[in-house]
Amino acid sequence: MDQPDGDAADIQYAYKASLMGGGWVLRLGPDALHWAMGAASGTVPYSSIRRIRLSFRPVTMQSMRFLAEIWSDKGPKIPIASASWKSMMEQERQDEGYARFIRALHEKIAAAGGRPDLRAGSVAFLYWPGVLVFAGLLVMGLSLAVRSIDLGERAFGQPLDWTQIAALLALIAMFFWLLWQMGTFFKRNLPRRYTLTDIPADVLPKADRGTARRPGTAV
């Protein structure tokens, strides 16, 4: 959801973080970020925002999901997700509205003279051990691809027929598809800093992807 509210310059974004819980409603006013979550609400002056983290956070029901986390001098951490729960089996992608809201938020902070700590990607002490695990899986996958047919022939005592070869290749293809998914996650979530005027494109959805999609659909 992304629409004007009151002042023509205001930008509003709303999403549901869970199916049963209340939804978040966020609005960029002239001088502050206004938020409401169920019965709770508050206002965060742009100059008091001290830290923002943008990351790529896929979940089971939505493989193309992004998340912004906002910390300020007062009030709770504010999470803003690019996908909203729509039904038991579907999360709706709100790419266009999310990207517009995040860019506008950074413009408002810059205009207010704010100097928050801006981070993109995952937390470093969690990211790099994950990269090591991913590298190990990649090496194992390459070794599997080279040796699988030879091991299969030894197990059956004769050359594999085309159905057995096809089954092995399907398993290898599935393994490498999982590695590709993991590689995308690590590529987008490389820990780094950024500036208010230069937001990394890989931690924002494409602005033309604002329609609902089936669970797990990726681009």
Q: How confident is the model at residue 144 (pLDDT cuts 50, 70, 90)?
A: low
Instruction: Return d(Cα 114, Cα 10) in angstroms, integer.
Output: 19
Strands 23-28 vs 7-16: parallel, antiparallel or unpaired: antiparallel
Say yes or no to pLDDT of 179 above 80: no
Exposure on the CB side of residue 198, measured as CA atoms within 13 A: 4
Model confidence at 217, in pLDDT bands (50, 70, 90)?
very low
Is residue 129 pLDDT above 90, yes or no?
A: no
Q: What is the mean pLDDT of residues 196-203?
A: 95
> By C-alpha distance, which of 74, 121, 82 is closest to 211?
82
